[in-house]
Amino acid sequence: MSFKAVVIEKTDDVQGVGIKQFAIDDLMEGDTVVRISHSSLNYKDGLAITGASPVVRRFPMVPGIDFVGIVESTSAEGLNAGDAVLLNGWGTGERHLGGWAQKSRVPGKWLTPLPAGFTPEQAMAVGTAGYTAALCVLALQDGGVTPDSGEIVVSGAAGGVGSVAVSLLASLGYSVVASTGRAEEEGYLKKLGASRVIPRDELAAAPRPLEKELWAGAVDSVGSTTLANILAKTKYGGTVACCGLAAGMDLPTSVAPFILRGITLRGIDSVMAPPELRARAWELLDRTLDRSVLGEMTSVVSLEQAVEAAGDILKGKVRGRMVVKIED
Ligand code: NDP
């Protein structure tokens, strides 16, 4: 039996993307078949669909680094047909066929039970970007950064990771400084809980090794000079969670913030994070994330619209989170 999927193909170095009927026999190895109801648009999906960066490791590929759905059949221990599950990462949409399809076959150990406090649509409004934001917040907490430590700066604040990070941190009582290139999103960011909004230009110039100490911690999804500036402005003993590269992969910094201010740079990877850490992140989200604020930052699109939006996310034009609804 066939089903609908977005398929990325490559012939003679030319990449094409279309919505096709995909055969169930073409699904990849796994002990569990999931009927998908929602996926989402993440930055990596933008890279995969446009081919802007070689994240796709086999063709044909179905994009979608996350999904939520119902187990259709399984031989995995602890799983049953009818279970509501979600998936983040593990190489889906890169090496393993992803979530922009009506079905997926995966190893059952990649699946997380859908937390009772989230509808399927809300779980994908969080998606991999939001779950990564939660991993960043856990890194700050584990680093001993508390609401009393001082302000936390969030870069790329109007994007997916940034929006969820602002909201989560504000709900936990932190004072959040949101850095954005979109001045028109100041009202939006304050609604999410930011106490102050600063223009991204303040973090764009080449920094000196150390600048005035401003922030107790940071969630950075931008990288490059922005991250270098954040490190130079972080207070003594602070923690900076680094998860993204929206401005570039480079990091033009020095050892000064580390050896003179004892700052910790915590790398965040959502793809291969162990199940216990995933469970902590989803528990934090379930307990803390304001569902009406989550609704404010979310738009819901069809598979067709999601393909069209893939280029926009790379240009920083998508606000908050985009859920991809998989129609029957
Ligand atoms: P979005 O595109 O939604 O957000 C990125 C934001 O960064 C934009 O909205 C924009 O925010 C800002 N931005 C974009 N371009 C630039 C630029 N040239 N200079 C400065 N700021 C810029 O993407 P996501 O939030 O989904 O992902 C953000 C990053 O995090 C990506 O690099 C992604 O690959 C990474 N990521 C990493 C994960 C991991 O496991 N480590 C998991 C998930 C995401 P604004 O307009 O507010 O300035």
**How much is the pLDDT for 92?**
98
Q: Decide the pairing of beta strands 32-41 and 321-325.
A: antiparallel
Each residue's pLDDT tens digit, 34-61 = 999 999 999 999 999 999 999 999 999 9
Using one digit for the tens of pLDDT, what is the confidence trace for 225-277? Answer: 999 999 999 999 999 999 999 999 999 999 999 999 999 999 999 999 999 99
Per the CB < 8 A criterion, the answer to whether 152 and 167 are in contact is no
The CATH number, out of the four listed (3.40.50.720, 3.40.50.2300, 3.40.50.1240, 3.90.1200.10), of the domain defined by the range 128-267: 3.40.50.720
pLDDT in tens, 116-126: 999 999 999 99
- Ligand 1 near 128 CB (within 6 A): yes
Angle 240-148-203 from CA coordinates, rounded to 5°: 35
pLDDT greater than 80 at residue 1: no
Contacts of 323 (CB under 8 A, 6+ apart): 38, 39, 40, 121, 124, 125, 127, 298, 299, 300, 301
- Centroid of ligand 1 to alpha carbon of 23 (angstroms): 34
CA of 244 to the centre of ligand 1 (A): 6
Distance, in Å, from the CA atom of 5 to the CA atom of 283, rounded to the nearest integer, reads 31
Is the confidence at residue 327, as pLDDT, over 90? no
At 328 the pLDDT is 76
Name the residue of 221, 230, 321 whose CB sits within 8 Å of the most ligand 1 atoms, as the mutation to test its pocket: 221
What is the identity of the amino acid at 37?
Answer: S
User: What's the pTM value of the predicted model, to 2 decimals?
Assistant: 0.97
Ligand 1 atom closest to Cα of residue 271: 40
- Return the structure tokens found at 273: 């994070």
Structural Rg of the chain based on CA atoms: 20
Question: Measuring from atom 20 of ligand 1, which residue has the nearest CA?
Answer: 247
Residue 180 CA to ligand 1 centre (angstroms)? 11
- φ, ψ for residue 73, nearest 5 deg: -150, 150
Ligand 1 centroid distance, CA of 158 (Å): 9
Distance 46 CA to ligand 1 centre (A): 11
pLDDT tens digit sequence for 105-151: 999 999 999 999 999 999 999 999 999 999 999 999 999 999 999 99
Q: Is the CB of 43 under 6 A from ligand 1?
A: yes
Question: In the block, which residue shows the tokens 């009202």?
Answer: 187
Q: What is the pLDDT of the chain when averaged over all its residues?
A: 97
Residue range(s) in the chain whose domain bears CATH number 3.90.180.10 = 2-114+297-325
User: Does residue 20 contact residue 59 with C-beta atoms inside 8 Å?
Assistant: no
Specify the domain boundaries for CATH 3.40.50.720 within the chain. Answer: 128-267
Class of domain 2-114+297-325: alpha beta
Decide whether any atom of ligand 1 lies within 6 Å of the 314 Cβ.
Answer: no
- In the predicted model, what is the mean pLDDT of residues 5-28? 92
pLDDT of residue 24: 86
User: Above 90 in pLDDT, residue 191?
Assistant: yes
Average pLDDT score over residue span 61-84: 98
